[in-house]
Amino acid sequence: MKGGIRGLLTTLELLGVRSLRRRLLLLSTVTFISGLAQAALLVILSELAVSSAQRRKHLVIEGHSLSIEQALLLGLVLLAIFFAAGMITASATSSISGISLEEGRNTMIDAFFDADWSVQAEERLGHVQQLLTVNCEDLAVVVLAMANGLQSLLTVLALLLAAFLVNPIVAGGVLIVGMLLYLLLRPINAWTRRASGQLAEDSQTMATLVTEYTRLARDFRLFGVKDPAKDQLHVRNGRAARSFRRNRHLGLLIPVVYQTFALGFVVVGLAVLASRGGNALGATAAVVLLVLRSLTYGANIQATSQQLHSYEAFLDGLTEELDRYHRGKEKEDGICLPMSFSIEFDNVSFSYDESKDVLHDISFNVPEGQLLGIVGRSGSGKTTVSQLLLGLRRPSRGNVMIGDVPSSKIVSGEGISPIALVAQEPVLLQGSIAWNIAFFRAVSQEEIESAALAAHLHDEISMMPNGYATTVGEGGAALSGGQRQRLAIARALIGRPRLLLLDEPTSALDRRSEQLLRETLAELRGRVTVVVISHRLATIEDCDLLLVLEKGRVADFGPSRDVQAGEGFKRATHPAPDTRAATSL
C-alpha cells in the first residue's frame, strides 16, 4: 500500500470498498462546517469572557459590534449547528465503517468461492476464517481511522482558518510547526511500518497454529506429544507478543513526542503574545483557545497516521490473497450438459507440480447407468481420479469425458446437480435434517422425503420426535454415523444427479447401514452412473465394473468378477507382506 491517502483509497477499492471517496467527501463537507461552527463559537466565548471580566456590555468581533444578548444567541445557534453536524458525522462514520466491513467480506467471499478448486484445496487450515474475521475487521478499523483522521484534519483547518482571520502571524506559525513535527516524526513512522509488518506475519502464523493445534488436541494427547505442542505454541505466542509490544510502544511514543513539542510551541507563542501587550486581549484569548484546540485534533491526526501505518501490512496481505484468488478464478466455458453420462478416461496423465506425474496414461470406459468400483492402496491415485471425474481438476494430458463433454466444462443449472459427491466424512450444517437435505435448494417437502426414502433414511427420521425438523447438532453430532452418511446421500440425490461418486462411503458404517447403502446403489443402477471408491469388499461386490489402480496406473479393469480373480485386485485389497519380518526370520 503506497502513495499516502490516495494509495490507501486505491487499496480499499481493490478490496471491494466501493463509493468510499464519495462518502468521505460528504463526511468532509459536514465536518468542515462543524469545525467552522466550533471555531466561531470559541472566538465568541473568548470575547464574552474578556468582556465579562472588563464589564463591557458590547464586544467587537472582526470589526462587528454585538451586544451580550446577541452574542449569546449567536453562540447558541453555533452550538446547535455543531451538535447537529456532530450527530451526522457520528452516524456517517459508523455507517462507512460497517459498510466497508460488509463489502470487504463480500469481496473476499466471492473471490474464494469463485476460485478454482486447485486454489481452494491448497488453502491453509483456518486461513480463510482468519481473512474473513480478523483481517476484514482490520479493514473496517482502517476505514474508521481514516474517517476519524479526516475529520480531525478538516477541523484543524477550520480552526486555523479562524485563527488566521484573528491573527495571521500565529496561524502561520502553527502551520510551520506542524510541518516541522511531521518531518520529525517520519523516522518513527518508518519504524512503525516495519514493526507492523512483522506483527502481521507473527499474528498470522499464531492464528494458523492455534487453528491446527486445537483440532489436533485429541491426537496430541493420544500420541503423548501434548507438552511439545504446548511449548511450540508458547514460543510462537512469545514471538507474537514481542511484536505486539514493539508495535504498541511505537504507537504510544508518537503522541508523547508530538504533544511535547506542540505544547512547547504554545508556551513560546504565549510568551511572545504577552511581550507584545496591547488591548487585543479578546483576540489573544481566542487565538490561544483555537491553537490549543488545534493541538488536540493534531494529536488525533498523528495517532491516526500511526494507526494507518501499522495496518498497512494487514491490508497488503488482504490484497495479495485477493489477487491470488482472482488469478485462480474458475474458468466458466458455458458448455451445455452432456446428453449421456457415460465415463471415458482417454490416456489421462496428471501432475500436481508439473515435475512428476501421479497418474500415468489412465484409460477406461464406463457405460451410462452402470456401477463402477475403484480400488487401490493409499497413494495409488484414487483421489486424483475422483477429482478429475468431478471436474475439480483438469488432466495434464489426455481427456476426461462425461458423455461428449469434458468433465471440467460441465455447468450445473440453478439447484440442479448433474454430478454429485458423497464424501467419506460428510459435513452437516447447523440446522434441521430437512435443511441439510435441501442444502440451499428450493425444493418441496415431498422432494425432501422422496430423497430420504431413496437413501433409506425416511423411516428413522419419521420416528424422531421432531421428524424432519430435528436439529442435527454441530457437525451432525445428534445423528449416528450411518444416519449422517445416508443424509449425505439424500442431499446428493435431491439434485437429481446423473453421475454420483461415493468416496469410501462405508468406512465408518455398521453392517445395517452398509446394507442399506448397498440397497440404494442397487436401486440407482440403470438410472444413474455410480462410481464407488472403497476398500471394503462388501461395498464393491454389487458393482458392474471394477478399476484397480496401482502407483498411478491401471492395474486391471473390467467386469467385477473377472477383476476380482486377477492378481492386481489381490495386491490392492490384501495387506502388503512385511518384508522386515520375513528378513528377520
Alpha-carbon distances of 391 from 22, 50, 420, rounded to whole Å: 43, 82, 11
- Write down the CATH number for the domain with range 4-327: 1.20.1560.10
Q: What is the pLDDT, as a whole number, of residue 281?
A: 57
What's the CA dihedral at 453, 454, 455, 458 to 10 degrees? 0
For 566, the 3-state DSSP assignment is coil
Q: What is the pLDDT, as a whole number, of residue 359?
A: 94
Q: Of 79 and 199, which is predicted with more confidence?
A: 79
182-226 residue pLDDT tens = 676 667 666 766 777 677 777 777 777 777 777 677 667 766 777
- What mean pLDDT do residues 41-53 have? 76
Nearest residue to 366 (alpha-carbon basis) of 401, 318, 314: 401
For 366, the 3-state DSSP assignment is strand
Strand 405-406's sheet: what is its strand order? 357-366, 343-351, 397-402, 405-406
Q: What is the pLDDT, as a whole number, of residue 433?
A: 94
52-63 residue pLDDT tens = 666 677 766 666
254-289 residue pLDDT tens = 666 666 666 666 566 556 555 555 445 556 667 777
Same CATH topology for 4-327 and 425-496? Answer: no
Query: What's the CA angle centered on 433, arms 427 and 438, to 5 degrees?
Result: 80
The answer, yes or no, to whether residue 461 has pLDDT greater than 90, is yes
The answer, yes or no, to whether residue 577 has pLDDT greater than 60, is no
Q: What is the pLDDT, as a whole number, of residue 512?
A: 83
pTM of the complete model? 0.71
Whole-angstrom distance, CA of residue 216 vs CA of residue 210: 10
- What mean pLDDT do residues 483-502 have? 89
Nearest residue to 204 (alpha-carbon basis) of 215, 216, 196: 196
Most confident residue range from 151-155, 162-166, 325-329, 557-561: 557-561
Q: What is the pLDDT, as a whole number, of residue 175?
A: 66
Nearest residue to 89 (alpha-carbon basis) of 149, 140, 42: 149
* CA end-to-end span of the chain: 67
Q: Tell me, which fold does domain 425-496 have in CATH?
A: Rossmann fold (3.40.50)
Spatial contact of 285 and 50, defined as CB atoms under 8 Å apart: yes
Provide the residue ranges of all domains of the chain, joining segments of one domain with +: 4-327, 425-496
